[in-house]
Amino acid sequence: MTPNIKRIVSVLCLLAASFAVALLPAGGYCENLRFVFMADSPVENIPPNPTPTDLINIPILNAIISQILALSPRPSFVVYGGDMAACGRLNGVYNFQAFKDVMAPLTNAGIQLYTVLGNRELLNPPDVTKFYLANQQVFQRVFHENPGNGPAGYEHLTYSFESPGGDAFFAVLDQYYLTGDVKNPNLTGSFDDTQLNWLAAQIARTKATHKFLFTHGPYYYVVDPAEEGGPPPGITYTYLWNMLDQNRFDVYFCGHMHLFSRKTIDSGIAPNPQLTPPVQWHNNVVQVICGTAGAPIVTDPPCVDPALWHVSQAADTYYFTVVDINGNRVKVTSYKGNTGAYRAFDTFTIPPNAAGPAVDSLLLN
């Protein structure tokens, strides 16, 4: 990121923070809203002569969809965090419409589907060492219901939207954005200046109290990213997190790692990599990795304390997360299961724009 762009982002971050405080709803917090986050549903092994649906773990997705439809109240929308199938295209056939069809029971029930582009969406086996621009373009066309308010060229990939009453702000970023085919791509991804400056401008305009960001991969890994085929996240993640921290985002949701983890990123956790001059986190943005709605579970040992980082990677266990915005509070409840009933196993609450940590109601068990 150039010094000029760094200055612009910094100024916009400060403006956004003051703007949000000045424009809190006159009557206080009044909105109630429920939504769901989940990610990653590719099959473990591609069968011989597969159809597009053979690349998606449909039994697990169907089980989670049934659980979502049984929620009361039903959520207003679902955000799917990427890696829908084992790849984006196979034998000349794209798999995006097949995924959309699997998710149709939700949309047919009036639950909006928002999608994040993952790394697998850009792959075309047998060559898995290349990302393809054509895949990105087809993804944009198939998921045209995603908002188109991102930067030019990023439509339906990078976007934002707000709750009906305007007190909750949601943004989606694309860490794999392509301008051409890429050989040996970085699976950890990065965030370009265009997206970071766009996000800063969006934050500066919103009046929302609650803010959420969705992307495919984490900033803080709980399993060595080298085990996942990528280097550690680069400096653009720190620039992004600095923006989230300054503007008191509630939660950063992601997948990519096929497990569940949740951690409040407080002042005791260092930026990695660090900025110059150095920064410190103050506002306790929570990172939630909800990374398998059918993908094979990561079995590599955690590189963090699994109790402090709330890591769950039980065999044959899959996850989805329900978020309830109730006026001035946000409650986040995660569920785990298989093809049968799912049960809540982790929940926490966030007070509005608070410097204190998220409050645990139920720990992993």
The β-bridge relationship of strands 318-326 and 251-254 is unpaired
How confident is the model at residue 90, as a pLDDT? 96
Question: What residues pair up with 288 in beta bridges, in sequence order?
Answer: 253, 262
Q: Which of 293, 258, 289 is nearest to 64 (CA)?
A: 293
Tell me which residue has tokens 């949701």: 253
| Spatial distance between the Cα atoms of 75 and 112, rounded to a whole number of angstroms | 9
How confident is the model at residue 6, as a pLDDT? 54
| Spatial distance between the Cα atoms of 247 and 245, rounded to a whole number of angstroms | 5
361: number of CA atoms within 13 Å, CB side?
12
Q: What is the mean pLDDT of each run of 10 residues along the chain (365 residues)?
A: 48 41 44 97 93 96 98 98 98 96 98 98 95 98 98 98 96 98 96 98 96 98 85 96 97 97 96 96 97 95 95 96 95 96 95 58 49
Domain 3-362, CATH: 3.60.21.10
User: Residue 203 in contact with residue 169, Cβ under 8 Å?
Assistant: yes
How confident is the model at residue 151, as a pLDDT? 98
The β-bridge relationship of strands 77-80 and 112-115 is parallel
Domain ranges in the chain? 3-362
Please report, as a single letter, which amino acid is at residue 295. A
Radius of gyration over every alpha carbon of the chain, rounded to an integer in angstroms = 19
| Spatial distance between the Cα atoms of 313 and 298, rounded to a whole number of angstroms | 7
The β-bridge relationship of strands 159-162 and 260-265 is unpaired
355: number of CA atoms within 13 Å, CB side?
4
Q: Using DSSP, state whether 252 is helix, strand or coil.
A: strand
| Spatial distance between the Cα atoms of 216 and 214, rounded to a whole number of angstroms | 7
Per DSSP, 274 falls in state P
Per DSSP, 114 falls in state E
State in Å, rounded, how far the first CA of the chain is from the last one: 42
- 98-129 residues labelled b (16+ CB within 10 A) or e (exposed): bbbebbeebeeeebebbbbbbbbbbbbeeeee
Taking the model in full, what pTM does it have?
Answer: 0.91
How confident is the model at residue 228, as a pLDDT? 72
